[in-house]
Structures are given as structure tokens and as C-alpha cells.
């Protein structure tokens, strides 16, 4: 599958979907939206320090949304010959409902300013043989440098495809994409001693970018697994935690960002309701959403409803500046149109959220965080639970360290309990350095104070 | 469908496995007085797996025709040949298996087909409307009903030849309560393999809703428990999470081969005498367990696998490849979520066998501890260290349940926790049939058991 054949498929499908929408309108179905997601991928998987499987998959999923007098029906299908029947089924689902809301409408089309070309033609000369070669190289790194690290699973993927949205209101947008990606998961094993799982991943637009990032990610994975191998229990304490970029993004900030979702706000489930313009976090923290930067993986010119995306400030020095809306939630909040923050794909109804969060770097050198006096818990990863409404989170620290008097002691059986909204005010310092997570979101290290850390040993 | 698949295999000589899979998922959700979403998801295709030159190759197609399936077989073969040179540890021949032959039609399918969309919409709307009126503290109540209907046909060149179908409905209510700027949430959900009657056999929709709303409101006046190693009585839903997360994942033979903590422990004591743990494709004690399967995704009839017998580790969970490596019979544990997924070793219904005590006796015999109820989520590690999150923790003092506390994360080392089991109840319940287990791809599972007393690390203040 190469660019030419994907483009041909896309062009044929634009015609097909436009005709289906026209046919639906002729038959009295006025508001139809079809979101198409086509993907072709070749994959090589690893298991137990060995190659496991080679696969080739191709699929086109369609998300069909029909609105009828304020009611909505949604069908997801991968069967092209019966797409018109699916439109009728979605219409029937919408008609079967008795709780209309006239704010539920498809958006009017808007001009899209940013057109992305994230399909590097050089990937067309690659195939499963290159993925096998990458897998062989990674197994070599494991054998030569990390013989005590067991690769439980891994995956190398070359994927290509497009997304396309067509609606009866005149929305028509598409983007092609292609990427190389890899991930690895495993743990350190030394005799009877087994360390915590860890993982890492990388992706790139082309072979050179991918190879550089993947090697770095694999070495990072190996170091983390080895670091967790000789972990020991510690006693509990009250104090500081140091979060690397992954932990900042996946656990602590995720709850806060979720509370800015238009749906949570409307339903009274968000503690950030009514706080626009207010200081809700440490003045050290500034965040923006930028899906328009073509250097980032996943940047896009349009959202799940086919409306243009834009760069927007979320938090400036701790002051809340925006919420995230799709068309429906924007109308419920009193706006005439959305702010281009509809999320999701063919297999989901439009949600609300950011696309590519960026966190402003701070002024501290991250290495200084590792030399602090007293005890600091370095939280590599939290295996735990979080509650969106209350902001409470708790979990077991995985691959973490106790930093004490310049020592770095790997720990196990340690739990942390906190609240994400309170934690926004507990930020003591943010590092200058950070990482581009998923090659799309810049996230620095953060030092926070005032946490309860539970251990199993006595002081 | 079996005939079409067999036709596609007619000229094949090596090992080829064809898996047709059609899946329809319906979901209905109401919140704040209206139906928020109705969705129907349909996905159909054939997954093709070949074993050639000691290596697997896989391809899939969404086009159900002889030419398309045969083309996918060639793609899978090419993929296998390309990778063969790199694979060190070649896959031996697959062992003979107890293949399912024939058609296996699940219970409850007619029931779900005969109920209209309007009936399902009315259910979620009525329950949601009634629940929202229960307390002025309730900010929002959401009610959802969903069902997955699926049919599969599995045919292999070495003898598997079956068609099966099943339906898995779920019902869930989630509530958020607010008072003085504090917010808490509660949820309750159920899920089964079977029809509507099976779904609501133990609890009515109203009772499920009451439970979720009460939890959210009650938690407004709760605080965190004291953190530390504690004696706990676990409800069946929590026991389900414990045995699934803490033990089940570590005994999946692919994890064992990667070096999980269960490696080399067959025949060793890993729990107290009171612990007998099984993973089964059937639904012991009462029908409808959410992870039941008539046939696994390699075409094998699933077994009831005794993983731990009276505290001694006795079996891992196997697919055909690992069964050959360990020299045992496949346990029927190979499962794939979609036609485009390769089957992985997955749990089905995981349960601890009941004991002799009653819950009443267990509480009365606990001087200082906690009763944990309401499963949320959980994860396990290769080390045997696990975590699971609970909704509610009740303090037990001098044999009596006292204050409600916020449920937090509970953790421990799997085999230590099993060694510390000192009381197991007579009562038994499947209680983890809603939601999914994740391991690269989702899987419907269930888990449960009796009430169990043991020691775990409780996160807290």
C-alpha cells in the first residue's frame, strides 16, 4: 500500500460518502455526518526476548451520526456495501428517542487554515522486512546491553492511512498520515528476583527520526527495568514527590485537564466550573494546547467535527483561561460555535478535550531535584486509580526511587495518596528540561510537596 | 460460515487457522433527564493465522469472500516466512487439542433480540430520572445499558470446526454528589453472559441505582483510612479483583515464560490451605458469569483449570503453543477481542472456591480491621505486586462494622496475601462481569468468590 493507492482510495471514498449523504437528504434524512478512518499497517511483535508474530492488517471504520429533531443515532461499521443501510439504522435510532434537545445539531462548515502533510513518501519504500530488521536490532541491544532485562512484549509498526469527514452541512475535510512506531514492555529478572514492569515507545515521520528516537526510548526502558530490579520496601513519610514527564502527564495533570471538558462542566461534575479567569494552580504552571505545530506527531488541521483547530492558552501562570467544547457543549454553554476541541474518531461520538498539550518549562535544573536534602520520592509511574469528580488519586509506585542524601534507592510496596486539584497548588518547582511525550506534548519534571507516602516497614 | 472457511482451507497443507467474527455492540445512556447517546457498532471480518517455518504469520480481512480470505492466507504466509530467519526459538508442532465440533448457540440471544430499542431506552431513562430525585446532593446520575452480541466460526487445518454465538449485556449507574464544594462519586454495575432475566436476577435496576447513589452521598461525609498493613475482609467483588489481578495474570503461561513471579512454582505452596483457585470457561455455582465461553479462539473446548489447590500452585493457563512447551493439554484460554487481533492467553471466569465460615462470623472475629467493598480497577505486576482500587472501606472495631471511609488503593504481594488468608466464607458470588480486562487488547472476564479475610497494604492518611 503506497501513497498513490491511498490517495486514490480517499478520492473514491469522498465521492462515495458525498453521494450517500445526498441520497440521505433526498430521502428526508437532513443531518448526516460520516467520519471515515482508514488504516493499513504491518507489524512485527516480540515476546519472551524473541520474535513472535508478523501481521498485516487493513481496515476502514465509519462512524455515522444522524441527528433528527434534537435526537441522535450513531452507528459504527466496517462494511462499505451496507453504509446506506447504516445511515437508515442511525436515523431509526434517533427517531426512537423521546428526549430532544434542539441544541444538538451538526456544525456549519468553517475554512480550515492548517493543512498538514504528515505522510513522508520515503515510508513507501519500507515494508515488513525493515520492521524485522528493527526487531533484530532491538533484540541485539537487549542481548548486548541489558541481558537481565526480559522483553515480555514489543511491537514494531509501519502504519499508513487517512481520516475523512463529510457531512450534510457541507463539512468536508481529510488528512493523510504515515508513521513508524515501536514499543517495548518488560522487566528485569535476576535469578528469582523479578523487577516491576516498565515500558517505553517512540514514533517518527521517517526512518531516520524513528531510529534516533527509538534507540533512546529502548535505552530508557532498559535503564528503568534495571533500576527497578533491586527495589526494597521503605517506611512511610510525609513529604516531597518528584514527577518525571510521563507521571506528570498521565496521572496528575490528566484529572485537571478532564475537569475542563465541556460535558463534565455541564453535568456539574467538574470542580473547575465557574473558575475561568481565576487562579486555580501554582503561578509556576502555564499550559497551552497546540495542534497546529507541524513538527509534532498527531498535529491536525481539523477536529472530530471537521472544524478548524487552533492554538489556545489553557492556564497562564496558574490562571484558568479556557474550557474545551464541541459544537453541542458550546451551545449548551451559550456560545454560537465550538472552539475546535471535538475529540475522538470514527468509533466514538465527538467528545471534548485538547489535542496536543504543552507545558511551559520552568527555571530549575532537573539534576538539582535529585540532590535535595531530606527525603523525596521519585515517582516513575503510578499504578492506581483516580476519581474525576473529587480529584482524588491513589496508587502503588512502580519503578520509583527514594532520593535521600544524594542516594537513589529503588523502592517497592510504596503507595501515594493525593488530590489533583490540591496538587496544582503544591508545585514547588518545574524543570527547564522536559520530554516530548509521544513526539507531541512537551512536559517538564515537577517537584511537589505535602504528600502522604505509605510504606510497609517500620521507621 | 463454517463451510466457506473450510472451502478456503481445502487446498492448504500446513497449519492455517481461520476465525470469522461478527460483533454487534449496542449501548444506550441517559443522564440529566435525557438520552445522551445511542450507538450501534458492527464489525465483521476474518482473522487468519498460519504457522510456517516455525513462526506465526497473521493477516485479516473485512471482506467475507473466498478470494479475499485466501489472499489473506497468502499475506500471512509471506509474513511468517519473512520473520522465520530471525526467530530463535522455533514454534514446535501444535499439540492435539479437544476441539469443539459443531454449533454452540448461547443462552439469552432470543431474549435480547426480542426486546425493542424503545424498551432499552425507557429502562435507562426511567432509572436515571427516578435516581436523580433521591437526594438534593446528587449533582448528576448517569445510567447505561449495553450489550455485545457476537458470533464466531473457527476452522483449522488440523481439525477445529465450530460456530458459536453469545450475548453479554451490562447495566451500570454512576452518580456524583456534591456538598460544600466537596464532590464524591459512586457507581455500581453488573454484567453477565446471557439474557435480560439473567442480568437482573440478583439485583433489580432500581437496587443497582440506589447502591450507586447511596455510595456517592455517603462518601461526602467520609475520610481517608489510616495507611499501612491491615487486616481486611474482602467482599466477593474485591476477591474477584484480587484473584484476577494478583494471581490470574501471573499464571498466564506467556507471562510465566517471560519471567513472572509464578515461574518455576508449580507444586510449591503459594497460599494457605484455605485457598483453592480456579479459572473456568464455564459458570460454576450459578449461570451467567461474564467471561464464559463455549469455545476458545483456537477452537478448543475450555476447561475448568484448577490453578491453586489447597494452597499449592497446580497449573498455568495455556494456549496451544505454551501447552506444547510445558507438555500439558491446552486449557482453552486463547482469546481475541476482534477479528483483527491475534489470540492471547486470557482469563475467563476466575474464582476462589468457598469455605466454611459465614460473613457474620468473620466480622465478629475481627478485632481491628476493614471491610472493603465495591471493586473499581486494578493492575498486576510481574513481581506479583498488585493494586486494586475499592469504593468503600468500613472500619471494623471489636467485631463490629463502624465508620464508612473512602476506599483507596490496596496493594500487596500476591502470594503473601494468599498465604495470609485465614477465613473464607460459605457465601459465593460472581461480581466482576461488567467492564473489561486489558492486556494489549480487551477481554470480557468475570471473577468472584466468597468473602475472604487476609492482610494487605492500605493507602491512606
The domain spans of chain A are 3-226, 230-251+361-455, 254-356
- State whether residue B34 sits within 8 Å of chain A by CB: yes
Tell me: the pLDDT tens digits for B412-458? Answer: 888 999 999 999 999 999 999 898 898 889 999 999 999 999 999 99
pLDDT at A410 over 80: yes
Distance CA A46, CA A185 (A): 10
pTM confidence score: 0.93
Residue A235 sits at φ, ψ, to 5 deg, of -85, 160
What is the interface pTM, i.e. ipTM, of the complex? 0.91
Residue A395 sits at φ, ψ, to 5 deg, of 180, 175
- Indicate the helix (H) or strand (E) that contains A263: helix A262-266
Upper half-sphere CA count for residue A246 (Cβ side, 13 Å):
18
- State whether residue B136 sits within 8 Å of chain A by CB: no
Quick one: pLDDT at residue B325? 93
pLDDT at B86 over 90: no
Residue B346 sits at φ, ψ, to 5 deg, of -135, 155
Distance CA A229, CA A148 (A): 9
pLDDT at A459 over 70: no
Instruction: Please state, in angstroms and as integers, the Cα–Cα distance from residue A60 to each residue in A383, B45, B60, B174, following that order.
Output: 34, 12, 12, 33
Residue B434 C-alpha cell reads as 461488567
Interface of A with B in 416-455 (CB under 8 A): 416-417, 452, 454
- State whether residue B338 sits within 8 Å of chain A by CB: no
Boundary-marking domain end, from B220, B239, B261: B220
Q: Same domain for B132 and B153? A: yes
Q: Same domain for B410 and B270? A: yes
Of B315 and A197, which is predicted with more confidence? Answer: B315
Boundary-marking domain end, from B195, B220, B245: B220
Minimal C-alpha gap between A255 and chain B (Å) = 14
Q: Give residue for cell 500452585.
A: B313
Q: Same domain for B133 and B2? A: yes
Q: Same domain for B215 and B235? A: no
Distance CA B182, CA A423 (A): 16
Boundary-marking domain end, from B163, B185, B220: B220
Quick one: pLDDT at residue B124? 97
Q: Same domain for B276 and B172? A: no
A439 band by pLDDT with thresholds 50, 70 and 90: confident
Distance CA A55, CA B78 (A): 10
Q: Same domain for B183 and B316? A: no
A69 band by pLDDT with thresholds 50, 70 and 90: very high
The verdict on a CB contact (< 8 Å) between B460 and A454 is: yes
**Average pLDDT along chain B:** 94
Quick one: pLDDT at residue B282? 96
Q: Same domain for B275 and B215? A: no
β-bridge partners, A403: A376, A408
Quick one: pLDDT at residue B322? 96
Of B259 and A89, which is predicted with more confidence? Answer: A89
Q: Give residue for cell 479459572.
A: B279
> Taking CB atoms and an 8 Å cutoff, what residues of chain A touch B382?
152, 187, 194-197
Return the sign of the alpha-carbon dihedral for residues B275, B279, B282, B283: positive
Q: Same domain for B401 and B334? A: yes
The verdict on a CB contact (< 8 Å) between B87 and A51 is: yes
Burial class (CB in 10 A: 0-12, 13-18, 19+), B110: exposed
Instruction: Please state, in angstroms and as integers, the Cα–Cα distance from residue B252 to each residue in B94, B125, B242, B303, following that order.
Output: 18, 41, 15, 14
Residues A378, A347 contacting (CB under 8 angstroms): no
**Residue B416 is part of which domain span?**
228-459
Count of domains forming chain B:
2
Q: Same domain for B196 and B264? A: no
A183 band by pLDDT with thresholds 50, 70 and 90: very high
A274 band by pLDDT with thresholds 50, 70 and 90: very high
- CATH of residue B33: 3.30.2290.10
Q: Same domain for B250 and B385? A: yes
Quick one: pLDDT at residue B332? 98
Quick one: pLDDT at residue A34? 98
pLDDT at A307 over 70: yes
User: Which of B146, B138, B148 lies closest to B209 in space, CA to CA?
Assistant: B138
B459 band by pLDDT with thresholds 50, 70 and 90: confident
* CATH T-level assignment (fold) for domain A3-226: PmbA/TldD fold (3.30.2290)
Substitution target in B46, B61, B84, B258 with the highest count of A β-carbons within 10 Å is B258
Q: Same domain for B265 and B393? A: yes
Tell me what the mean pLDDT of segment B56-77 comes to.
Answer: 95
Quick one: pLDDT at residue B10? 93
Of A406 and B340, which is predicted with more confidence? Answer: B340
Residues A299, A118 contacting (CB under 8 angstroms): yes
Tell me: the pLDDT tens digits for A201-257? Answer: 999 999 999 999 999 999 999 999 998 889 999 998 999 999 999 999 877 788 999
Burial class (CB in 10 A: 0-12, 13-18, 19+), A232: exposed
Amino acid at each position: 500500500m503506497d501513497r498513490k493507492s491511498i490517495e486514490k482510495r480517499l478520492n473514491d471514498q469522498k465521492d462515495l460518502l458525498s453521494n450517500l449523504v445526498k441520497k440521505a437528504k433526498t430521502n428526508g434524512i437532513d443531518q448526516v455526518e460520516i467520519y471515515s478512518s482508514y488504516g493499513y499497517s504491518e507489524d512485527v511483535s516480540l515476546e519472551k526476548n524473541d520474535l513472535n508474530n508478523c501481521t498485516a492488517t487493513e481496515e476502514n471504520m465509519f462512524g455515522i451520526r444522524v441527528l433528527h429533531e434534537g435526537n441522535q443515532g450513531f452507528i459504527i461499521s466496517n462494511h462499505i456495501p451496507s453504509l446506506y443501510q447504516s445511515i437508515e439504522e442511525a436515523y431509526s435510532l434517533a427517531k426512537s428517542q423521546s428526549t430532544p434537545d434542539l441544541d444538538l445539531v451538526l456544525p456549519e462548515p468553517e475554512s480550515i487554515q492548517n493543512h498538514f502533510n504528515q505522510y513522508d513518501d520515503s515510508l513507501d519504500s519500507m515494508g515488513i522486512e525493515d520492521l524485522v530488521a528493527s526487531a533484530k536490532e532491538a533484540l541485539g541491544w537487549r542481548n548486548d546491553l541489558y541481558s537481565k532485562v526480559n522483553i515480555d512484549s514489543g511491537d514494531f509498526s509501519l502504519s499508513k492511512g487517512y481520516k475523512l469527514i463529510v457531512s450534510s452541512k457541507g463539512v468536508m475535510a481529510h488528512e493523510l498520515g504515515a508513521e513508524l512506531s515501536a514499543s517495548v514492555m518488560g522487566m528485569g529478572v535476576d535469578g528469582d528476583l523479578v523487577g516491576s514492569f516498565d515500558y517505553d515507545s517512540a514514533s517518527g515521520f521517517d526512518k531516520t527520526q524513528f531510529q534516533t528516537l527509538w534507540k533512546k526510548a529502548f535505552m530508557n526502558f532498559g535503564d528503568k527495568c534495571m533500576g527497578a530490579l533491586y527495589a526494597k520496601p521503605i517506611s512511610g513519610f510525609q513529604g516531597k514527590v518528584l514527577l518525571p514527564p510521563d507521571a506528570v502527564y498521565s496521572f496528575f495533570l490528566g484529572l485537571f485537564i478532564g475537569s475542563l471538558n465541556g460535558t463534565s462542566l455541564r453535568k456539574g461534575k467538574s470542580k473547575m466550573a465557574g473558575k475561568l479567569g481565576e487562579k486555580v494552580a501554582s503561578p509556576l504552571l502555564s499550559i497551552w494546547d497546540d495542534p497546529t505545530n507541524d513538527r509534532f506527531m498527531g498535529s491536525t488541521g481539523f477536529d472530530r467535527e471537521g472544524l478548524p483547530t487552533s492554538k489556545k492558552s489553557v492556564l497562564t501562570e496558574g490562571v484558568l483561561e479556557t474550557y474545551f467544547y464541541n459544537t453541542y457543549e458550546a451551545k449548551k454553554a451559550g456560545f454560537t460555535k465550538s472552539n475546535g476541541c471535538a475529540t475522538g474518531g470514527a468509533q466514538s461520538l465527538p467528545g471534548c478535550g485538547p489535542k496536543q498539550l504543552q507545558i511551559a518549562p520552568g527555571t530549575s535544573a532537573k539534576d538539582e531535584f535529585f540532590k535535595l536534602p531530606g527525603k523525596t520520592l521519585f515517582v516513575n509511574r503510578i499504578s492506581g486509580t483516580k476519581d474525576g469528580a473529587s480529584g482524588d488519586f491513589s496508587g502503588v509506585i512502580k519503578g520509583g526511587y527514594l532520593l535521600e542524601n544524594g542516594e537513589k534507592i529503588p523502592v517497592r510496596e510504596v503507595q501515594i495518596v493525593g488530590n489533583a486539584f490540591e496538587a496544582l497548588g503544591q508545585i514547588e518547582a518545574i524543570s527547564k528540561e522536559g520530554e516530548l511525550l509521544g513526539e507531541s506534548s512537551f512536559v517538564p519534571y515537577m517537584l511537589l510537596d505535602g504528600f502522604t507516602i505509605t510504606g510497609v516497614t517500620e521507621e | 460460515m463454517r463451510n466457506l472457511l473450510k472451502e478456503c482451507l481445502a487446498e492448504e497443507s500446513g497449519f492455517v487457522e481461520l476465525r470469522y467474527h461478527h460483533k454487534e455492540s449496542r449501548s444506550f445512556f441517559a443522564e440529566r433527564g435525557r438520552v445522551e447517546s445511542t450507538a450501534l457498532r458492527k464489525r465483521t471480518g476474518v482473522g487468519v493465522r498460519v504457522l510456517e517455518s516455525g513462526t506465526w504469520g497473521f493477516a485479516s480481512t473485512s471482506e467475507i469472500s473466498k478470494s479475499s480470505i485466501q489472499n489473506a492466507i497468502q499475506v500471512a504466509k509471506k509474513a511468517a516466512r519473512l520473520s522465520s530467519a530471525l526467530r530463535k526459538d522455533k514454534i514446535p508442532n501444535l499439540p492435539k487439542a479437544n476441539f469443539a465440533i459443531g454449533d454452540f448457540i448461547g443462552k439469552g440471544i432470543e431474549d435480547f433480540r426480542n426486546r425493542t430499542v424503545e424498551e432499552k431506552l425507557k429502562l435507562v431513562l426511567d432509572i436515571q430520572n427516578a435516581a436523580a430525585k433521591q437526594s438534593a446532593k446528587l449533582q448528576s446520575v448517569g445510567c447505561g445499558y449495553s450489550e455485545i452480541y457476537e458470533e464466531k466460526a473457527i476452522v483449522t487445518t488440523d481439525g477445529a470446526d465450530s460456530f458459536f454465538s453469545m450475548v453479554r449485556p451490562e447495566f451500570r449507574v454512576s452518580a456524583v454528589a456534591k456538598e460544600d464544594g466537596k464532590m464524591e462519586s459512586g457507581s455500581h454495575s453488573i454484567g453477565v453472559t446471557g439474557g435480560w432475566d439473567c442480568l437482573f436476577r440478583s439485583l433489580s435496576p432500581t437496587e443497582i441505582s440506589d447502591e450507586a447513589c447511596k455510595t456517592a452521598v455517603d462518601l461526602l461525609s467520609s475520610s481517608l483510612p489510616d495507611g499501612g498493613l491491615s487486616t481486611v475482609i474482602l467482599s466477593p467483588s474485591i476477591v474477584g479483583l484480587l484473584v484476577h489481578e494478583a494471581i490470574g495474570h501471573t499464571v498466564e503461561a506467556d507471562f510465566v515464560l517471560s519471567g513472572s513471579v509464578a515461574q518455576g512454582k508449580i507444586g510449591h505452596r503459594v497460599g494457605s490451605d484455605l485457598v483453592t483457585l480456579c479459572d473456568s470457561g464455564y459458570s460454576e455455582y450459578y449461570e451467567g458469569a461474564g467471561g464464559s465461553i463455549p469455545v476458545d479462539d483456537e477452537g478448543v473446548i475450555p476447561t475448568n483449570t484448577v490453578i491453586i489447590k489447597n494452597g499449592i500452585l497446580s497449573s498455568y493457563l495455556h494456549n496451544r503453543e505454551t501447552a506444547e512447551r510445558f507438555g500439558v493439554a491446552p486449557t482453552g484460554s486463547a482469546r481475541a477481542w476482534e477479528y483483527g487481533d491475534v489470540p492471547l492467553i486470557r482469563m475467563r471466569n476466575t474464582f476462589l472456591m468457598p469455605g466454611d465460615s459465614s460473613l457474620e462470623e468473620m466480622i465478629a472475629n475481627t478485632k481491628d480491621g476493614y471491610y472493603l467493598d465495591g471493586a473499581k480497577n486494578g493492575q498486576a505486576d510481574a513481581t506479583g505486586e498488585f493494586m486494586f482500587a475499592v469504593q468503600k472501606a468500613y472500619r471494623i472495631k471489636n467485631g463490629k462494622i463502624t465508620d464508612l471511609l473512602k476506599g483507596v488503593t490496596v496493594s500487596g504481594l500476591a502470594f503473601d496475601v494468599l498465604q495470609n488468608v485465614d477465613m473464607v466464607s460459605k457465601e459465593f458470588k460472581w461480581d466482576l462481569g461488567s467492564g473489561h480486562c486489558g492486556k494489549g487488547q480487551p477481554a470480557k472476564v468475570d471473577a468472584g468468590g466468597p468473602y475472604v479475610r487476609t492482610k494487605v497494604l492500605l493507602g491512606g492518611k
